[in-house]
Structure 1
Amino acid sequence: MLLRLPYSLLWVLALPLVLLRLLWRARRQPDYLGHLGERFARYPGKVSGRLIWVHAVSVGETRAAEALVRALLERWPADHILLTHMTPTGRATGAALFANEARVRAAYLPYDLGILATRFLRHFRPRLGVIMETELWPNLLAACSREGVPVILANARLSARSARRYARWPALSAATLGHLSAVAAQTAADAGRLQALGAPAVHLTGNIKFDITPPAAATALAATFRQHCGDRAVLLAASTREGEEALILDAFARLAPADCLLALVPRHPQRFDDVAALAAARGLALQRRSAAAAVDPRTRVWLGDSMGEMFAYYGAAGVALIGGSWLPFGGQNLIEACAVGTPVILGPHTFNFELVAEQAVDAGAALRAADVDSGMAAALALLADPARREAMGNAGRAFASQHRGASARTLALIENVLDGRA
């Protein structure tokens, strides 16, 4: 408790600023003000029956959790799943993924104050918590321990950079991790870093994101996208981050032939209009995916202003530049591109997915580029080389296939925790 006291005081002091930030973000994304009471552990209705709680902070974690959630639903058909998030885009993604599953309920996780965490747990009374990746909240995990709720950190990853940040507060980090019942780590390096910080019962289970397969609807939508694009070569810039789009647009305008189409899909929806303005400022004719029409032959940039359709964008593209890797954001998930057989070009910054990135390059499914200009040149060369593109696509599918199985291993660990054997 004493270790968490300064942390809790900081939360109390920061709460007005957190609410102001929520209002600020709601200017562009009004959904941030939806279900506001849930962020303070005020939830409608009563909860009855057995429930397993899965926390997936935003879009990436929610999509990664899909295979595991479906495995949980199948393994325990009498249980409901509470899927919690911190962002409206994560919540919307969960709603889309489980639209036909009545046993999945959505909610926001409250802010990390002890009284709110306790209220959350006493309202839903989960018999188990599964937290995806590295969402480590000290007060929440302490409350889980007090309330007798075992918690598993699933698909856990911890970069060297993040490990150094946690190591600045070794006692608090060790105490927080010590409340976990088990950890399912993506890689041996992740497992080692978590153990060094004090995590108990660390198991190497692999990356659950390999278990995500393209839904039939996404495959059909990819075919529609290809029809919309006509016979043009499509270069995809996927899940780009702030600052990267300007670099990509400049390189595209300078290097790409006029018949090449850039499909540009920003990571965050609140930035769609800003990215459209960047294209306009460079004199590049732009069309939005939301127009739901065939792409005009004069269009140079097709803006992917939609959510939950990344598989379809990958399926429609000839080559994909992976966002988050061109500036020091740590990269975005490249597994979906490999799974559908789309060759991948990575920038220099992939520390959030380092092992997967290295493995994809070694497997012949991805290429590494030093900067945006060289990445654009490599992508355009691949678009002009169908044989090499096909070889990389086949290598990507094989790479994704051979690494599947993490969901089953994580499910086995969950069974052991519930049975008291972990």
Structure 2
Amino acid sequence: MSIALAAWRIGATLIAPLLPLHLARRARRGKEIAARLPERRGEGAARPAGRLFWLHAASVGETVSLLPVIEAMAARDPALSLLVTTGSVTSAELLARRVPKAIASRVIHRFAPLDVPAWAARFIRDWRPDAGAFVESELWPNLLAAAAARGVPMALVNARMSARSAARWARLPGLLRETLGRFRLVLARSEEDGARLAAFGIAAPCWGDLKAAAPPLPADPAALAALKRAVGERSVLLAASTHPGEDGAVIAAHRALAAERTLLTVIVPRHPERGLAVAAAAEAAGLATARRNAGEPPGRDIAVYVADTLGELGLFYRLADAAFVGGSLVPHGGQNPLEPARLGCAMAFGPYMGNFAEPVARLLAAGGAVRVPDAATLAETLRDMLWVPGRARALADAAAAVADRDTGLPGRVAGALLDLLPPEAQGADGGRADGSRTPTTSGAWQGMNEG
């Protein structure tokens, strides 16, 4: 064990007595569920009989990308149970809504334990997964060490290493290789991520981006019909998954465009708790505003409709004539542009789309999206998309062709993950009588932590 990893273990152990206070504060802010805080200490295991595969996704985007993989794994191995850990309340709520009913009884959700050695060891000891996989860049050294100590084969899929992370790791390349040595299989999210990993001597093939292969976002048909009735003949502009600093630009664009034609602008804040603040900004600009979370409809007199609910973005992409993808006018890295692409919605986004560089490049090359250089040009770009005949349809059709490219990826990843399971049949305890497994070995095990 390196000095750096030893220091991490010691530091996590020393800070552990303070973490319950931190978790309680998060629960008061709605960031945790108070009744489920013991899960953050690795407690509350209820291991089912038979084989168990553990999947960890940090938040909403990673959880969505896992859903088709989960379905494929469950279909290929009808006796397999799947334990899914996440780190956010919103991802837990999304998983509960989106897992198909046919396999819901085989999918168990728990909040991931914090990376305290004793808590991580308890989680692995009590759940005894037969194999596991992390998604993207969510790595926890103590949790991975606990899995390795019990011989649990692990994978990292959609592995992500940004240019900034590569620069950081260049100062500690040995620590990177030691940390990533816990993984038997690594699949890079993009060729760029794979190249950055290769620069450290880590082979990580790229099969594609799971976020590029996710199914279309769902929508309730009755809710969509009701919204269409309320909207009437108005054009609909959607600002999807906005972040602080973007709402003002969207509101200004609405004011410019609404001076020309009747327009309803729907703003979906990335974090629904910002709904009140977004509505207040629109009202301060003199615009009649309604909030979905308050049960208010987008009536004929409403200019800005704040859709501050969770899990309804698919509804509004279907409603919109054109969309602006948020997280891109501010240096956040953007939200997933393939979501509107799958739903036939013409899109624009700002200059900060680094989290989705590869699909963005494909969309732009195919003529399936428009990049807005700054907030000042947002209204002009959206005017073209909304009201130039045929423009929105051409963008949407080109984007749909790009989005269809990776539809077979979840099944391929599912097969690779199932190959990690031990070939021998597992009993109800999922392992040997002492609760451990025979450790396995391989060549280069890889992964990446974006911090």
Shorter-chain TM band? over 0.9
- Matched residue SS, 1:131: strand
Distance 1:358 1:220 in 2: 36
Distance 1:198 1:38 in 2: 36
Amino acid at match of 1:79: L
Tell me by how many angstroms 1:27 deviates: 4.0
CA contact (8 A) 1:211 1:404 kept: yes
Distance 2:376 2:76 in 1: 49
Q: Which residue of 1 aligns with 2:121?
A: 118
- Matched residue SS, 2:105: coil
Tell me by how many angstroms 1:44 deviates: 4.9
Tell me by how many angstroms 1:283 deviates: 2.5
CA contact (8 A) 1:236 1:319 kept: yes
Distance 2:23 2:250 in 1: 30
Q: Which residue of 2 aligns with 1:10?
A: 11
Q: 1:279 aligns with which of 279, 282, 291?
A: 282
Comparing 286-295 with 237-246, greater Cα deviation is found at 286-295
Tell me by how many angstroms 1:193 deviates: 1.6
1:43 matched to 2:49? The reply is no
Q: Which residue of 1 aligns with 2:323?
A: 320
Distance 2:280 2:111 in 1: 32
Q: Radius of gyration: which is bigger? A: 2
Tell me by how many angstroms 1:223 deviates: 4.2
Amino acid at match of 2:236: V
Q: Which residue of 2 aligns with 1:365?
A: 368
Distance 1:410 1:358 in 2: 23
Q: Which residue of 1 aligns with 2:215?
A: 213
Amino acid at match of 1:121: I
Tell me by how many angstroms 1:272 deviates: 2.2
Instruction: For residues 100-158 of structure 1, give each alpha carbon's deviation from its aligned partner in whole angstroms, at most 9, with x where no partner exists.
Output: 21111110110112221111111111111111111111111122111111111112222
Percentage of matched positions with identical amino acids: 37
Tell me by how many angstroms 1:347 deviates: 0.5
CA contact (8 A) 1:265 1:304 kept: yes
CA contact (8 A) 2:227 2:298 kept: no
Comparing 208-217 with 378-387, greater Cα deviation is found at 208-217
CA contact (8 A) 1:39 1:110 kept: yes
Aligned length: 421
Amino acid at match of 2:371: R
Distance 2:74 2:47 in 1: 21
CA contact (8 A) 2:70 2:414 kept: no
CA RMSD of aligned residues (A): 2.3
CA contact (8 A) 2:336 2:356 kept: yes
Distance 1:99 1:270 in 2: 27
Distance 1:414 1:46 in 2: 20
Tell me by how many angstroms 1:77 deviates: 0.7
Tell me by how many angstroms 1:375 deviates: 2.3
Q: Which residue of 2 aligns with 1:95?
A: 96
Amino acid at match of 1:152: A
Amino acid at match of 1:235: L
Q: Which residue of 1 aligns with 2:341?
A: 338
Q: TM-score, normalising length from structure 2?
A: 0.87
Q: 1:230 to 1:412 in 2, by over 3 A?
A: same
Q: Which residue of 2 aligns with 1:58?
A: 59
Q: Which residue of 2 aligns with 1:166?
A: 169
List gaps (5 residues or longer) in structure 1.
none
- Matched residue SS, 2:199: helix
CA contact (8 A) 2:325 2:335 kept: yes
Tell me by how many angstroms 1:43 deviates: 0.8
Q: How does 1:170-189 map to 2 (within 5 A)?
A: 170-189=173-192
Q: 1:398 to 1:41 in 2, by over 3 A?
A: same
Considering Cα pairs closer than 8 Å and 6+ residues apart, tell me whether 1 or 2 has the greater RCO: 2
Q: Which residue of 2 aligns with 1:84?
A: 85
Distance 1:268 1:171 in 2: 38
Query: Which structure dedicates a bigger proportion of its chain to helix?
Result: 1
1:138 matched to 2:141? The reply is yes
